[in-house]
Amino acid sequence: MDLLLVFYQHEERTLLSCGWVNGITHVGQRFIGGAKDFWTALCKYAIEIGFEFVYVKNEKCRVTSVCSMREFKACLWRVHASLESTNNFFYIRTLHNEHTCGATVRTSKNSRMSSNLVASLIVNEVRGNPQTHPIDVMRFTDQYGLTITYNHAWLEVEKARTTTFGDFSMSYNEIRWYMDIVMSTNPGSYLSLDYNHQSGRFKRFVVVFNASIQGFRHCRPLLFIDGTFLKGKYKGTFLTATANDGNQGVFSLAMAIVDTETTNS
Ligand SMILES: [Zn+2]
Q: Can you list the alpha helix ranges (DSSP code H) found in 8-106?
A: 35-49, 70-73
Ligand 1 centroid, distance to 67 Cα (angstroms): 5
Ligand 1 centroid, distance to 124 Cα (angstroms): 33
Are residues 44 and 89 both part of a single domain?
A: yes
Are residues 148 and 187 both part of a single domain?
A: no
Q: Can you list the alpha helix ranges (DSSP code H) found in the chain?
A: 4-7, 35-49, 70-73, 115-128, 134-142, 150-165, 168-185, 210-216
Task: Identify the domain containing residue 101 by its residue range.
Answer: 1-110
CA 157/CA 161 separation, integer angstroms: 6
Are residues 83 and 52 both part of a single domain?
A: yes
Q: Please, are residues 117 and 44 in contact by the beta-carbon 8 Å criterion?
A: yes
Cα–chain-centroid distance for residue 53? 26
Are residues 150 and 228 both part of a single domain?
A: no
Ligand 1 centroid, distance to 45 Cα (angstroms): 13
Are residues 62 and 88 both part of a single domain?
A: yes
pLDDT for the residue 1 = 56
Ligand 1 centroid, distance to 83 Cα (angstroms): 25
Across 117-131, 185-199, 240-254, least confident range: 117-131
Residue 219 lies in a domain: yes
Are residues 102 and 6 both part of a single domain?
A: yes
Across 71-85, 154-168, 179-193, 209-223, least confident range: 154-168
Are residues 156 and 234 both part of a single domain?
A: no
Ligand 1 centroid, distance to 51 Cα (angstroms): 7
Ligand 1 centroid, distance to 91 Cα (angstroms): 22
Domain count, the chain: 3
Question: Is the per-residue pLDDT at 165 higher than 80?
Answer: no
Residue 263 lies in a domain: no
Ligand 1 centroid, distance to 18 Cα (angstroms): 20
Are residues 87 and 153 both part of a single domain?
A: no
Q: Please, are residues 208 and 189 in contact by the beta-carbon 8 Å criterion?
A: yes
Ligand 1 centroid, distance to 117 Cα (angstroms): 22
Are residues 5 and 94 both part of a single domain?
A: yes
Question: Is the per-residue pLDDT at 66 higher than 90?
Answer: yes
Ligand 1 centroid, distance to 23 Cα (angstroms): 17
Are residues 12 and 86 both part of a single domain?
A: yes
Residue 11 lies in a domain: yes
User: Which amino acid is present at 44?
Assistant: K
Are residues 10 and 87 both part of a single domain?
A: yes
Predicted confidence band at 160 (pLDDT cuts at 50, 70, 90)?
A: confident
Residue where a domain terminates, one of 110, 131, 157: 110
Ligand 1 centroid, distance to 1 Cα (angstroms): 18
Tens of pLDDT, residue by residue over 41-55, are: 999 999 888 888 999
Are residues 77 and 148 both part of a single domain?
A: no
Ligand 1 centroid, distance to 2 Cα (angstroms): 21
Tens of pLDDT, residue by residue over 109-157, are: 777 887 778 878 887 777 778 788 888 888 888 888 888 888 888 888 8
Angle between helices 150-165 and 168-185 (to 10 degrees): 30
